[in-house]
Structure 1
Amino acid sequence: MDQFDSIRPYNDNEVASVLQRLLADVDFLSIITQYRFPVASRYFGWLLRPIIAGKLRSELKAVNSVAALQERIESYVERSISQATDGISFSGIEHLQDGQPHLYLANHRDIVMDPAFVNYALFQAQHSTPRIAIGDNLLQRPFVSDLMRINKSFIVHRSLTNRREKLTAFQLLSAYINHSILQDRESIWIAQAEGRAKDGDDRTESAILKMFHLSRKDEDFAAVIASLRLTPVAISYEYDPCDIAKARELYIRATTGEYNKEIGEDDASIAQGITGYKGRVHVHFCPVLSSGFTDAKQLANLVDQQIWRDYRLFPVHYLAWALWDQQDAGLEVPDIHDVFEQQEVLTAQREWQRRLAACPAEHRPYLIMQYAMPLQNQYRCNALHA
C-alpha cells in the first residue's frame, strides 16, 4: 500500500471503476438531474435518473484516464462560464515556468469554482492542471469523494481534533505535496487559508506555509519553498453568488459568537457557487516567490501583498467602498467615474442595488464589507509601495 493512498487522487487505472460507481449512485444522479432539469426533477426524478445515467455512460465509455476525463469536463466548465458569468479572463501566464510543476497558493472565495477557474485558465494556456487540495469536511458523502478524487483532488484532513492526529495528518500532507511536485512533477493547488474569505479579506495562514516545510524540517525553510515554485494566484469575482449567505453567517457570528452550519449547507453553497451569477471573473498568476523571506510570517506577508495588488477590482468594489463605514479614510481612492466608463458604472449600480435590496438590513454591513475589503487591501498595498 502506498503511504499516500488515503489522501491521493485516483490514478488512471482506477478511473473506469470509479465512473461506474458514480453512475450507480442515486445521490449523484439526483444532483445531476436537479441541475439539468430543476423543475421536472421534482416530479419525474425517478424517471429521469436512469435516462441521465445511460446518457452519461455513453458519453464516458471511452474515458479511461484522468486527462481524458478532464477533456470531457471542459465542455461543462465552458457551459457554466457561458451561463453564469460574463466571461473569464486571465493574466500572468508568462510568470509560469513551462514544463515545471508549481505550488499554486490562491485566495479562496468559492469551494468548487476557484480551482475550476484556475484549471480552465491553465488548460486554455496549454499548461498542466494541478492536483487540488480539498477539505474532508466537504466529502461526507461517498460520491462527492469519488467525484473530487477522480478529478485530481487530494484530501486535507481538517475534521481531526486530536493534536497528535492533526500533526500526523499535516506531516503526511506535507510529504504528499513535496512528493507530488518534486517526484511526480505534478502541480498543486491549495487555498491560502482554511475556509473561504467570507469578509473579502484575503490573508495567508502562516500555518499552511509551515506545513509545506514540515516533512523537510531539517532543510532551510526558504530553500524548501523555492524548490516548490510557490506561485500566488489572485482570483477575482465581480459578484459572489454566495455573498448574501456569507453576510448572514458573518452577522450571526458577530451577534452570537458562533455559527453552526445547517445540514446540507455546504451542498447548497457548492450548487449556488456553480450556477449563480458571477459577472466577470479574472485569474492572475503572480510571479514565483523564491526569495525575500526567511520564515513563514515573512512569506505570508509577501503572498498577501501579491494577491492584494493583482486582485482585479470592478465597479462594485468602488460602490461598496463608498458605503462602508469602516473604510480607511486616509487612502486616496479615486472616484468611480475616473476609473470606469459611465455605462459600466450604471450597469454595476443596478446589480449592486438589487443585491442590497435582497439582503436583510441588519446583514448589509457585512455584504458591503465583502466587496469593499479587496479595494482597501489593494490601495493600502499600493500606498505602502508608492
Structure 2
Amino acid sequence: MDTEVSYNFDDIRPLNNDEVKDAIEALIANEDFERAFRYIKPDVNWKEFSETMRSFKTKEDFKSKLAYEAVMNVANKTTFSLTISGRSRLPKDKQPCTFISNHRDIVLDASFLNVMLYDVGYGMTQVAIGDNLMIRPWIETLVRLNNSFIVKRGVSVRQMLDVSRTLSAYIRHTINETKESIWIAQREGRAKDSNDRTQGSVLKMLNMSGDKDIVSNLMELNIFPVAISYEYDPCDFLKAKEFQMKRDDPEFVKSQRDDLLSMETGILNNKGRVHFTLTQPINDQLAALDKDMEKNELVAAIASIIDKEIYKHYRFYPCNYVAYDMLTGTKRFSGNYGQRDKKHFEEYLQGQLDKIVLPNKDEAFLRTKMLEMYTNPLKNHLANQE
C-alpha cells in the first residue's frame, strides 16, 4: 500500500508509488548513475537494463527485485558468508519495529539487514540515511526509490530542532500509521573505533514526537537492537588514516570525496564472514525502568539497555581474538585461534597499513588504531559479562 504522508515530510520521505515512473526515467537518463552501475556490473547491457527498470511500477518491485539482486551480488562477491540469527524473536504478527544497530558500513549495514529480513519473510524496512551522503542528485533519487528517508545533518543549530522534530514525527508516523519498520543507526556516523555506544541524542530525537513520558514514547516505537559483526572491515585503513589526520590537525573535516571513497571501498572489498543477530525487543526492559528518574539519567539507562543487547550478541572471529592479544601483549585468547589465523591476520593488517598514504605516516599509531577496531567489540562483550 502506498504511503500517505503529510506535506511536511515531502523533503525527507521515500518516494510514493506515483513518483516511481519519473524517478526511474531520471535514473536511466543519468550518465553518472550509468557510470556507477557499470562500475559494479561492467558487463551490463544498458538497453536491457533500462527496460527492466521500466518494468518496475512500485517501490516494492524495485526493492524486492533490482535492489535485492544488487545487494546479493555484493554479498556473493565480497563476503565469505552472510548470515542472520534470532529470527524467532521477530514479532509473529509482523508488528513494525525500530531496528537500531551498531554502525560499521555506510551503505551495507541496512542493505544486508533488509535482504535477510526479506528472505525470512518479515519484509524490508525503511532506512534512515544522512543527507551528507546525497553527494549527487541521482543518489538521493535512488535511495528514496529504495524506500529510504533522509536525515538532514548539514543544518544550522537553529534549524536542528525543527529538523529533529520532523524526523521524529516521520519515524513515529511510519511505525504507527504506515505500519512499516525502520532501521536507524545507534549513532550519527559510524563508530570508527568500533566502540559502539548509543547516542543519547538519537533517543531524544525519537522521543520528540511522543506525547507521553520518554519511556512510554519509546515503547510505542518497539525498539529492537541488532548486533552487526563483520570479520573484516574494508574501510579499517581509511578509518585509521582519519584518526591520524584528526590527531595531527584537530580542525580536519572529512570531504564529500572521503565519504564517496568510504562507500565505494566498503561495497567493493572483502568482508569475510558477516553476521547479524536480532537481539530482542526491549519493551519489557523499558517498562521496568523507574520513570521518575531524571530525564538524562533515563536516556543513559535506555542507551545502556540497547548497548548491552548489542554487546551480548556480537559474533567473534579469530581476528578479534588475535587483535586482542596483539594489542594487550597477552595470550589470553590463544586457545581461540591457531598460528595460521595469527599469521593471516598479521599479513592482512600489514597489507591494510600499506594502503595508507600520509606525509608523516605514524605506523605505530595507525597499527594501534586498527587493532582497537577489532578488539573493542570483544572488550565491550567481556565488560558486559562482568
TM-score where L is the length of structure 1: 0.89
* Residues 336-355 of structure 1: pairs in structure 2 closer than 5 A: 336=334, 338-340=335-337, 347-355=344-352
Per the alignment, residue 43 of structure 1 pairs with none
CA gap of 1:344–1:35, structure 2 versus 1, over 3 A, is same
- Give, in angstroms, the shift of residue 256 of structure 1: 2.1
Q: Where do residues 146-225 of structure 1 align in structure 2 (5 Å cutoff)? A: 146-163=141-158, 165-216=159-210, 218-225=211-218
* CA deviation map 1:330-355 (0-9, x unaligned): xxx8423x234676566545434533
Q: Which residue of 1 aligns with 2:3?
A: none
Residue number among 49, 62, 74 corresponding to 1:69 in the alignment: 62
2:79, 2:355 → 1: CA distance? 20
Structure 2 residue 95 is matched with structure 1 residue 90? no
Q: How does 1:39-54 map to 2 (within 5 A)?
A: 52-54=45-47
Give yes or no for contact 2:321–2:337 (8 Å, CA) kept in 1: no
Equivalent position of 1:102 in the other structure: 97
Whether the 8 Å CA contact 2:97–2:223 is kept in 1: the answer is yes
**1:303 alignment partner, one of 302, 306, 311:** 306
Aligned partners of 2:217 and 2:256: how far apart in 1? Answer: 40
Matches within 5 A, 1:235-254: 235-254=228-247
Count of aligned positions: 363
- Judged with a 3 Å threshold, the aligned counterparts in structure 2 of structure 1 residues 268 and 358 are, in CA distance, closer, same or farther, namely closer
Q: Secondary structure at the match of 2:196?
A: coil
Aligned mates of 1:181, 1:92 — CA distance in 2:
21
Give the % identical residues. 33
SS in 2 for 1:264: helix
The corresponding residue for 1:231 is 224
After superposition, the C-alpha distances for 1:288-318 in whole angstroms (9 at most, x for unaligned) are 0112434211100111111111111111111
How many angstroms apart in 1 are the aligned matches of 2:106 and 2:78?
16
Q: Which runs of 5+ in 1 are unaligned?
A: 38-47
Cα deviation, 1:68-122, whole Å, max 9, x if unaligned, reads 1112222221111111000111111111103210000111011100001110110
* Residue of structure 2 equivalent to 1:123: 118
**SS at the partner of 1:225?**
helix
Q: Is the 8 A contact 1:137 1:159 kept in 2?
A: yes
Give runs of aligned pairs for residues 3-14 of structure 1, distance below 5 A: 3-14=8-19
Partner of 1:335: 333
- Please say if residues 316 and 349 of structure 1, whose CA atoms lie closer than 8 Å, have aligned partners that are also in contact: no
Q: 68-77 or 150-159, which moves further after superposition?
A: 68-77
In 1, the alpha carbon distance for the partners of 2:231 and 2:314 equals 11
Which deviates more, 345-354 or 130-139?
345-354
**Structure 2 Cα separation of the partners of residues 105 and 196 of structure 1:** 13
CA-atom RMSD in angstroms: 2.0
Report if the CA contact (8 A) 1:104-1:233 is conserved. yes
Per-residue CA deviations over 1:263-291 (Å, capped at 9, x if unaligned) read 52211111111111100000011110112
For the residue of structure 2 that corresponds to 1:134, the secondary structure is strand
In the alignment, structure 2 segments of 5+ residues that lack a partner are: 1-5, 292-297
